[in-house]
Structure 1
């Protein structure tokens, strides 16, 4: 079932019309990375301390279903952004490229469709499933102790599933880099968890691994990044305010993203080697 599920996800990303630019048929994403975490992994409980008590565990989501059920696995994926789109964004210094902005809006709409597709695939196979990001219990908490947060973090789920580690800019560095979209589904189908080969939850980031790099700091046009980390308030104000106002109409989107700190950096499409190799 694990292999069949992975093949379905890969095929959907490759063949579904919504995963391609309408103008030229080019893909928003390349082949996905897929990982699995146990629904009762202690990390999900720890997140309620690290992120906040509002962050729900897989079991808490499933218990809000009618009727309630007991989850076994969290299925996670990373959709690496295509090289042409990343290349177009490397050249930008203030606002994202048109391709990046369209990937943020239309590519994420496809990602939502993928979540629904995975849920339906599992339900049709006789299992229970839900997508936390699309669940009625999901909501944002703009005034949390860690800044803007939500009831489910796709990044933290992906970390639990062995897909990567965190970076100076708060993103996730996977073996295919930091430029991606993430998704997850909770199910009662039992699948063996993916190993987490990292020595530390930040070990793929050169800044945290050896005190070098920090390239993402210079890529941020509004100073939301520093050696101390990521200022979510400044970042969000720019990404959801100034950027759409400046280029949204021209790009024909309402959600633009930014992604400058995810391109033209050593971790754009890989785990950077640096002086001290990552355990991955």
Structure 2
């Protein structure tokens, strides 16, 4: 089932028309990265301290199902944004490129469809499944102690599934870089968890690994990034307010994203090399992932 599931996700990303720009254009996303976490991984409970008590564990979400059931695995994927789209965004300094905005709106619509198709694949095979991001229990908390947060974080699920580590701008740096969209599905199908090979929960970021880089700070047009990290309120006000107001109608979308701090940076399409390896000498202990 693990192999069949991965093949199905890869095929949908490769072949589905929803993953292509209008007019026979190229794909929004290239070949996905796929990882698995145990539903009872202690990290999901730890997130209730790191993020907030409102962040639901896979088991808590499954208790909202009718009837409730016991989950076994969290399936996660990262959809790397195409090189062509990333290239178009590198030259921008204030607003995202049209290709980036189309990827944010229509590419994320494809990602939501992918979530539903993965759930249906599992249900058809006789398993229970749901997508946390589409679950009726999903809630957003704009004024939490860690800033804007929600009852399920795709980034933190992806970290638990070994897909990458956190960055100065709060995104996830995967082996294919930081420019991507994330998705997840919870199921009672038991799949062996993926390894988390990283030295610690921030080791793919050069700033946290060895105090160098910080390129994303200069890419932010509104000063939402600094050496202290990411100001979510400033970022959100710009990405969900000023940017759509400025270019949404021109691009024909209501959601634009921004992505300037995810392009024209060393981690755009890879884990950047440095003086210190991001890989762990031994499995990390006492992980405390960023909110």
Task: Give unpaired runs (5+ residues) of structure 2.
Answer: 281-291
Q: How does 1:113-192 map to 2 (within 5 A)?
A: 113-192=113-192
Task: Give unpaired runs (5+ residues) of structure 1.
Answer: none
Q: How does 1:183-222 map to 2 (within 5 A)?
A: 183-222=183-222
Other-structure match for 1:231: 231
Other-structure match for 1:24: 24
1:239, 1:65 → 2: CA distance?
Answer: 33
2:9, 2:24 → 1: CA distance?
Answer: 23
C-alpha deviation, 1:259, in angstroms: 0.1
C-alpha deviation, 1:25, in angstroms: 2.4
CA deviation map 1:76-105 (0-9, x unaligned): 000000000000000000000000000000
C-alpha deviation, 1:24, in angstroms: 3.5
1:228, 1:24 → 2: CA distance?
Answer: 43
Report how many residues are paired: 280
C-alpha deviation, 1:106, in angstroms: 0.1
SS of 2:246 mapped into structure 1: helix
Other-structure match for 2:59: 59
1:267, 1:206 → 2: CA distance?
Answer: 9
CA deviation map 1:155-194 (0-9, x unaligned): 0000000000000000000000000000000000000000
Other-structure match for 1:274: 274
C-alpha deviation, 1:216, in angstroms: 0.1
Other-structure match for 1:80: 80
Q: Compute the TM-score of the two structures, normalised by the length of structure 1.
A: 0.99
C-alpha deviation, 1:119, in angstroms: 0.2
CA deviation map 1:183-233 (0-9, x unaligned): 000000000000000110000000000000000000000000000000000
1:238, 1:87 → 2: CA distance?
Answer: 22
SS of 1:113 mapped into structure 2: helix
SS of 1:96 mapped into structure 2: coil
SS of 1:29 mapped into structure 2: coil
Asked if 1:48 is matched to 2:48, the reply is yes
Q: How does 1:259-270 map to 2 (within 5 A)?
A: 259-270=259-270
C-alpha deviation, 1:23, in angstroms: 2.4
Asked if 1:90 is matched to 2:72, the reply is no
CA deviation map 1:220-259 (0-9, x unaligned): 0000000000000000000000000000000000000000
SS of 1:34 mapped into structure 2: strand
2:184, 2:157 → 1: CA distance?
Answer: 7
1:40, 1:66 → 2: CA distance?
Answer: 20
CA deviation map 1:18-63 (0-9, x unaligned): 0100123200000000000000000000000000000000000101
1:17, 1:208 → 2: CA distance?
Answer: 39
C-alpha deviation, 1:276, in angstroms: 1.4
C-alpha deviation, 1:277, in angstroms: 2.1
